Amino acid sequence: MIYFIDRYDLLMDVTLRQIKGFIAISRLGSFSKAAEAVHVSQPALSLMIRKMEETLGVALFERTSRHVALTTAGRELLPGVQRLVDELEATFDAVTESTAPVGGTLSVASIPSVSAAVMPRIIAAFEKSRPRVHVILHDAMTESHRMLQMLRAGEFDCAVGTPQPQDGDLQFIPWLEDAMNVVVQPSHPLAGRRKVRWQEIAELPIIGTSYNSHVRRLMDSAFASHGVSVRPHAEVSLVPTALGLVDAGIGIAVLPDTSVQNLGALNLRAIPLVEPVVRRRLGFVYRSTNSLPPLVRDFIAFAIAFQPAAAKGRR
């Protein structure tokens, strides 16, 4: 008797695990070896095949105490299901390859301190590891609020910043945690100190960041914890401007760790501020309505792993 089985009905009524078990037994000639190959117990495999035979209404194997052989129906079934499994695996491989982040363009926005001190090395290493990928860095994001508005509009794939409680429509993946420092000239009385209290700089001319920046809010909060309200001697948006004013002797600056990593030829001193130690939490931000594309997800994971010391921040 010849059995004709429609392959689409087979896929509907027989599970893929049953089919793979059937193929393994056919190739290995043993239930025990096949069970090991498909990572199930031998009783479980026997039950799977019995249910498969009940679904098809035919016996697929002749079983004896020493021997397992395909029946006529089993021999007729084997080429078809093997072809189905091969086609399915090829389809899965094609889908995986088409979505793998092997190339493409990635648009990342970042606040200036991270753009200048951290992101360039990460981008260089990421592009080196993926020659077909190009990362575009938008580094003029002086205010997180504006940057997040542009992120919502779809102008960036992701951004580095700190969303506020009202930004509930955005997802945040923590990355860096950096603490506040006071930046002074090497000749300043504080230059030789290992740490400085906030109260000690309250009366000094401070170069502060713009009033609506996150760093400024942290600075104001630190002073407020001592009952002090400080009006900066000058307000700037960009870190190089703040450092230039300190270098010229106009005042001192309050800046986070990432902003003072590369003081360069300015020969300035960055000293940790304490009592309290104020930390800024930074991370990757993306729109909640979007699932992260593989390339964006890989870049974020790469960045987080790239600088473990920076990601931990100062304790």
- Per-residue confidence (pLDDT) for residue 149, from 0 to 100: 82
Residue 310: HSE in the Cβ half-sphere, 13 Å Cα cutoff: 21
- Domains and their CATH numbers in the chain: 7-99 (1.10.10.10), 104-312 (3.40.190.290)
User: What is the per-residue pLDDT for 310?
Assistant: 41
**118/185: higher pLDDT:** 185
264 pLDDT higher than 70: no
- pLDDT digit string, tens, across residues 6-59: 444 544 578 888 999 999 898 888 888 888 888 889 999 999 999 999 988 999
For the stretch 277-287, pLDDT in tens is: 999 888 999 88
pLDDT of residue 2: 38
Q: In whole angstroms, give the CA distance from residue 313 to residue 180.
A: 11
Q: What percent of the chain stands above pLDDT 70?
A: 86
In 3D space, the residue among 113, 89, 102, 80 whose CA is nearest the CA of residue 236 turns out to be: 113
Of the pLDDT bands very low, low, confident and very high (cuts 50, 70, 90), residue 117 is confident
User: What is the residue type of 128?
Assistant: K
**pTM confidence score:** 0.60
The pLDDT mean for the chain works out to 84
Q: Which tens digit of pLDDT belongs to each residue from 55-113?
A: 889 999 998 777 889 999 999 999 988 888 878 877 775 565 555 555 688 999 998 77
d(CA 305, CA 310): 10
User: Per-residue pLDDT tens for 188-214?
Assistant: 999 999 999 999 999 999 999 887 788
At 309, the pLDDT band (50, 70, 90 cuts) reads very low
